[in-house]
A and B are shown apart, each in its own frame.
Chain A
């Protein structure tokens, strides 16, 4: 019982001391100020924001040929651009040809490209259903709205098989 009485006693004293200190600091300020008062500027975060609309979409494509990889020369930017445009033209005609593609990097049979975010799914559909007269085609290996490396979601799975 004794403790039961003491506990409210403690809270009461703090309740008394709080108003005693607060008015002294805001003597003249209006009541509104109390609401907007912030803690001391101890925070280390300068700014936070969420980017929702990525302007670009980055796609990693693999060039497929019927030749053995040893005899096939490495893919160059001109060939890659030509064949992606061919795929887009076949799929969407003039609209497809108007989709701007930026070749970011080519390495071996792989090419990293950048397209406007709105054209992302059109490009994936176009390259997926295209085969050239010589049997060349594209395979989509990965895509990302943020990362120019365009790693696939399951790109870590190779560690389980090596």
Chain B
């Protein structure tokens, strides 16, 4: 009817992958080229990480998270871009160390700067880009087709040529002195050492946060019958299962078997198993818990959570999901020896 947006925007997509976990998984060094580990690694930073488990697995999982493995630190700091490429901070964190940083700003609207693996990425509008004098690429955006409104500039600060005195580096210095010279709020996480007030970041009065998980329960949830096999073109089943998982992760009372809502207010019901689809067949119920971390989480932390759940949950199912600062998200459902992965945006 009034779907004005569907013509201008690309339709949202959801990539679904159904994979088998290998028999042997090295918990300390998980595979780097296999699903779902590639999915976790591809999303460098996330602001919300959820784990959904049956209540029976919770105590074992929390044991596995013992001695500080279930928390992470990050710092919030006000810095100029030029502070990154100067002095101790540059040598200690960027050249020798390994830090992840992200600046404040709404994706695709405000200027956004990220630093990961020594690669500084700056997404700026056209006016700023033209004044900066650095080489970048146009970003696809909504609106006019052949006019780029935003540009992304990527600089690898770990290159040997990125030292003071080299012309390429001096251009970066010039841009940070004269164009991008405002103070920015950053998220900061050190991958080599514990993120705290020590080290060169102390100069900038960093505010260190420790993120503790929050556990919430959803009792008596009706279970979705997770299918053993999925047809190559069974899109609706993949979408329905994702709906159930995200509703459970959102602790929706519509999943509870004693939920007495009128069908006028909500017509949602859990898809019954198709095998014994007799009328009046009630789905199985389980008590679920959701464990949520809200902070500046790096992919390595989520990977650790995933392997911990693999270790502690045994044959039980669990779900790991994470949402990034730019709106991308993934959901990984592990059941038996298989994993089901959804990657989507918006």
- Residue positions of A touching B, CB distance < 8 A: 44-56, 58, 77-78, 81, 92, 95, 100, 102-105, 112, 114, 118-122, 125, 143-149, 151, 153-157, 159-160
Inter-subunit contact A148/B243 (CB<8 Å):
yes
Q: How many Å lie between the Cα of A119 and that of B236 in the bound state?
A: 19
Inter-subunit contact A56/B338 (CB<8 Å):
no
B238 nearest in chain A by CB position: A51
Q: How many Å lie between the Cα of A117 and that of B346 in the bound state?
A: 13
B22 nearest in chain A by CB position: A44
- Interfacial chain A residues near B250, Cβ < 8 Å: 104-105, 112, 148-149
User: Max chain A CB contacts within 10 Å: which of B47, B105, B238?
Assistant: B47
User: Max chain B CB contacts within 10 Å: which of A58, A100, A146, A160?
Assistant: A146
Q: Which B residues, 329 to 346, have Cβ-Cβ distances below 8 Å to chain A?
A: 329, 338, 342, 344, 346
B67 within 8 A of A: no
Q: How many Å lie between the Cα of A90 and that of B294 in the bound state?
A: 38
User: Max chain B CB contacts within 10 Å: which of A44, A51, A92?
Assistant: A51
Q: How many Å lie between the Cα of A73 and that of B330 in the bound state?
A: 35
Given A51-B239, A105-B253, verify A144-B346 contact (CB < 8 Å): yes
Inter-subunit contact B19/A159 (CB<8 Å):
no
Given A45-B18, A55-B236, verify A78-B265 contact (CB < 8 Å): yes
Q: Which B residues, 204 to 218, have Cβ-Cβ distances below 8 Å to chain A?
A: none
Looking at the complex, which one of A48, A100, A153 makes contact with B346 (CB distance below 8 Å)? A153
B198 within 8 A of A: no
Q: How many Å lie between the Cα of A54 and that of B239 in the bound state?
A: 7
Q: Shortest 7 CB-CB distances between A and B: which pairs?
A: A156-B47, A153-B327, A148-B246, A160-B104, A148-B247, A149-B250, A47-B18
B4 nearest in chain A by CB position: A121
- From residue A148, how far is it (CB to closest CB) to chain B in Å? 4
Inter-subunit contact A49/B233 (CB<8 Å):
yes
Given A48-B16, A146-B246, A153-B107, verify A104-B254 contact (CB < 8 Å): yes
Looking at the complex, which one of B229, B252, B296 makes contact with A105 (CB distance below 8 Å)? B252
A160 nearest in chain B by CB position: B104
Inter-subunit contact B107/A51 (CB<8 Å):
no
- From residue A76, how far is it (CB to closest CB) to chain B in Å? 10
Inter-subunit contact B265/A146 (CB<8 Å):
no
Looking at the complex, which one of B3, B48, B249, B325 makes contact with A120 (CB distance below 8 Å)? B3
Given A48-B18, A105-B254, verify A119-B265 contact (CB < 8 Å): no
A selection of 12 A-B contacts at a CB cut-off of 8 Å is A44-B19, A45-B20, A53-B11, A105-B254, A118-B3, A119-B1, A121-B4, A145-B12, A148-B243, A149-B250, A156-B47, A156-B323
Inter-subunit contact B48/A151 (CB<8 Å):
yes
- Interfacial chain A residues near B234, Cβ < 8 Å: 49
Inter-subunit contact B323/A151 (CB<8 Å):
yes
Looking at the complex, which one of A78, A114, A159 makes contact with B268 (CB distance below 8 Å)? A114
